[in-house]
Amino acid sequence: MQFLVSNPYFRPSLRPTLFLIASLPILLWLGTWQLQRLEWKLGLVEQMEARLDAPAIAIEDASPAVDDEFRRYRVSGEFDTGVEFHWLATSEAYGIGYLVFSPLTLKDGRKVIVNRGFIPSPLKDAMADRPGGGETFEAIARVPETPGSLDATNDEAANIWFTRDTASMAKLAGGGDYLPIYLEKLGEVAEADWPKPGAAKVTLVNNHLDYALTWYGLGVVLLVIYLVFHRSQGRVGCPRE
Q: Quick: pLDDT tens for 73-127.
A: 999 888 887 889 999 988 877 888 899 999 999 988 899 999 988 988 888 887 7
Asked whether the beta carbons of 142 and 167 are under 8 A apart, the reply is no
Contacts for 136 with CB less than 8 Å, ≥ 6 apart: 74, 75, 76
Contacts for 28 with CB less than 8 Å, ≥ 6 apart: 215, 216, 219
Q: Are residues 112 and 173 in the same domain?
A: yes
Pairing of strands 111-120, 95-106: antiparallel
Residue 240 confidence (pLDDT): 59
Residue 202 confidence (pLDDT): 58
Structural domain includes residue 40:
yes
- Give me the chain's average pLDDT, please: 83
Q: Are residues 102 and 175 in the same domain?
A: yes
Q: How many domains does the chain have?
A: 2
Structural domain includes residue 63:
no
Structural domain includes residue 205:
no
- Pairwise CA distance, residues 41 & 47, whole Å: 10
Pairing of strands 9-10, 236-237: antiparallel
Structural domain includes residue 199:
no
Structural domain includes residue 117:
yes
pTM for the full predicted model: 0.68
Question: Rounded to the nearest 10 degrees, what angle do helices 208-232 and 14-53 cross at?
Answer: 170
Structural domain includes residue 59:
no
Q: Which whole number is the average pLDDT over 149-164? A: 86
Element (H or E) spanning 99, and its range?
Answer: strand 95-106
Q: Are residues 42 and 75 in the same domain?
A: no
Structural domain includes residue 191:
no
Q: Are residues 94 and 31 in the same domain?
A: no
Q: Which whole number is the average pLDDT over 48-75? A: 83
Q: Are residues 216 and 158 in the same domain?
A: no
Structural domain includes residue 197:
no
Predicted confidence (pLDDT) at residue 2 exceeds the cutoff of 50: no
Asked whether the beta carbons of 154 and 161 are under 8 A apart, the reply is yes
* Domain interval for residue 87: 71-185
Residue 1 confidence (pLDDT): 39
Q: Are residues 78 and 47 in the same domain?
A: no
